[in-house]
Every structure is written in structure tokens, then in C-alpha cells.
Amino acid sequence: MNHFCRQASRLASDQLDLPLGLVDRMHLWLHLVMCTACRNNARALQKLHRMVATRDSVQKLDLEQQQRIADALHRECD
Amino acid sequence: MSDTPTPDPQRWLQEYGGALFGFAMRQVSDRELAADLVQETLLAGWRNRAGFRGQSKERTWLIGILQHKITDHIRRAIREREFSSQAKVDPTDPWFAPNGAWLASPSAWRAEPSGALDRQRMAEQIDRCLQQLPQTQRLVFCAREMTGEATSAICKRLELTTTNLHVLMHRARLGLRRCLEEHGYGG
């Protein structure tokens, strides 16, 4: 027997990037009603999508990297 | 007559290095790569200093150069992946049996942490998990999730078909979900 879980996971991910067509939306919805694992997965992917976009992540150049760039600029910009 | 500042890459590094690095990190999530891109940007700015006419701010001009460098880098990574065997392997193989069933059933995710410190820890863990993704997945995922740019615009900018974008995003999301679960978040 073939399972729809692989496609359901793909569709759950796809719809975070583009709206699904009607047929795909119906397929996904019908499958999620029946399949707890795919429901869990779809919700987790949705949460992840939100968490990644809203997280505060401040990344700073460390001193060593800054020095390396300064050295390269010295060598090449005269 | 003009108050255009004298071009000086060392001063650019002091004044804008942090902003450029932060901008690159959001899109590539790789400290070494982001630092290399900042360096290339400052060198390119120096070589093309005659092209800066002061209509825009120096910082905006440098960010424009950096964005080009980032886009070039991602396009190259995508092209290299297409030539390697990676693209021929079904990228969801580690998750599903050949008949399409889950190899390991996903469990329900707990609520997201609400305290500031917990959220900070989670953000750091997301950064670490992002760094573990294969390069092309990470770059495309960050381009899409961190810039808020529309999917159609990203596909055009990165010369990527919608299907390829979907495949890479799906794989990246499953990889991140597993990585976060392994570190006590989510399920």
C-alpha cells in the first residue's frame, strides 16, 4: 500500500512558500484529518517557519575576523 | 563643493563592517563565508571607488555590492549542486520509506518558549542547526526565510525553478525539525 505522507509533508512545506491549488489543498486537508503523524509534522513546520523568521539573532564580526579583513585590505588597497 | 567622504576601505571596515557582516549572516548563516563576503565587498568597493558618486550613502552603496556577492555565491552553489550527484538523490530519502510512509512518526511539538532567555537560547540553537544543513539547502532556506522576499522573486534572483525551491525548502525544514528535536525543542 502506498502512503500519502511523503507528498503531504511536501505540500505542508510548499504552502509556506506559495499558496496551494484547490486540488492539492483538498488532498492535504483530507490526509491531515486522518493522519496524526502528518498533522504533527505540518504543525511543526509551521511553527518552525514562524520561529525562524521572528528570532532575534545578532551576529557580530569577531576581532580575529576583523583583523584578517583589515590585513587583506592593507595588502590589496595601496 | 561636495562632502563625499574620501574612499578608505579601513574606515569602511570600522564603520560598516558590523552592519555588512550582520546583513550577510542573515542570508548565509555561516560566519566564515559571511566574513569572506564582507572582505570581497570592501575590495570590490575599493576597485570601483570611482563608481561611487555620492547619490546614495556609502553604506547603502556597499550593501548593494554585498547583495550582488551573496546572490552570485548562492547561484554558484546551486549550479555546483546540479552538476554533482546530490541532485539525483531523492532528498527526502532519509525520512520516508520507498512506499511514502514515515520512517519515524513525527510527534507533536510543545509550545514555543515564551521567556526572553529561553527564546534567546532557542534562537542560538536554530543558528547552530542551520549551520549543520548542507550548503545549498541552507543558502536557499535563509534567502527565503530571513529576507521576507517573495518566493517568485527569489526563484528569479537565484535562477531556481519553483520545484527546485520547494524540494530544497522541504528538505531543509525536515532537517531543522529533526535537529531542534534532538536538542530538546519541539517534540
A11 interfacial to chain B (CB closer than 8 Å): no
pLDDT > 70? residue B132 = yes
The answer to whether the CB atoms of B145 and A53 lie below 8 A apart is yes
Contact A66 B109 (CB under 8 A): no
- Comparing CA positions, the residue from B142, B117, B116, B118 lying closest to residue B129 is B142
Residue A17 has its nearest CB partner, among B96, B102, B151, at B151
Asked whether the beta carbons of residue B166 and residue A14 sit closer than 8 angstroms, the reply is yes
CA pair distance A6, A43, nearest whole angstrom:
15
Q: What is the pLDDT of residues B14-37, one digit of tens each?
A: 999 999 999 999 889 889 999 999
Q: Does A1 touch chain B (CB under 8 A)?
A: yes
pLDDT value at residue A59? 77
Q: How many domains are there within chain A?
A: 1
- The per-residue pLDDT string of chain A (78 residues; one tens digit each, 9 = 90 and over) reads 678 999 999 999 999 999 999 999 999 999 999 999 999 999 999 999 988 887 767 778 888 999 999 999 999 886
Task: Return the SS3 of A36.
Answer: helix
pLDDT in tens, B87-128: 566 556 788 998 999 999 998 888 777 788 888 888 889 989
Which residues, at least 6 apart from A19, have a Cβ–Cβ distance to it below 8 Å?
none
Contact A3/B at CB under 8 A:
yes
Question: How close is the nearest chain A Cα to the Cα of B76, in Å?
Answer: 23
Q: What does the pLDDT read at residue B1?
A: 45
Provide the residue range defining the domain that includes A28.
Answer: 5-76
Task: Please tell me the distance in Å from A75's CA to the nearest CA on chain B.
Answer: 10
- Domains of chain B, start order: 9-83 (1.10.1740.10)
To the nearest 10°, report the CA torsion of B152, B155, B159, B162: -100
List the beta bridge partners of residue B96.
B102
Residue that the C-alpha cell 498533522 belongs to? A39
Q: Tell me the three-class secondary structure of chain B, residue by residue.
A: CCCCCCCCHHHHHHHHHHHHHHHHHHHHCCHHHHHHHHHHHHHHHHHCHHHCCCCCCHHHHHHHHHHHHHHHHHHHHHHHHHHCHHHHCCCCCCCECCCCCECCCCCCCCCCCCCHHHHHHHHHHHHHHHHHCCHHHHHHHHHHHHHCCCHHHHHHHHCCCHHHHHHHHHHHHHHHHHHHHHCCCCC
pLDDT, tens digit, 9 for 90 and up, residues B146-161: 888 899 999 999 999 9
Cβ within 8 Å, pair B165-A17 = yes
Query: Could B146 and A53 be called an inter-chain contact, meaning their C-beta atoms sit closer than 8 Å?
Result: yes
Beta bridge partners of B102: B96
Is B42 close to A6, i.e. CB distance below 8 A? Answer: no
Nearest CA in chain A to B8: A77
Cα distances from B64 to residues B52, B59, B71, B179, in angstroms, run: 12, 9, 11, 34
Q: What is the ipTM of this complex?
A: 0.88
Cβ neighbors of B2 (< 8 A, separation 6 or more) are: B54
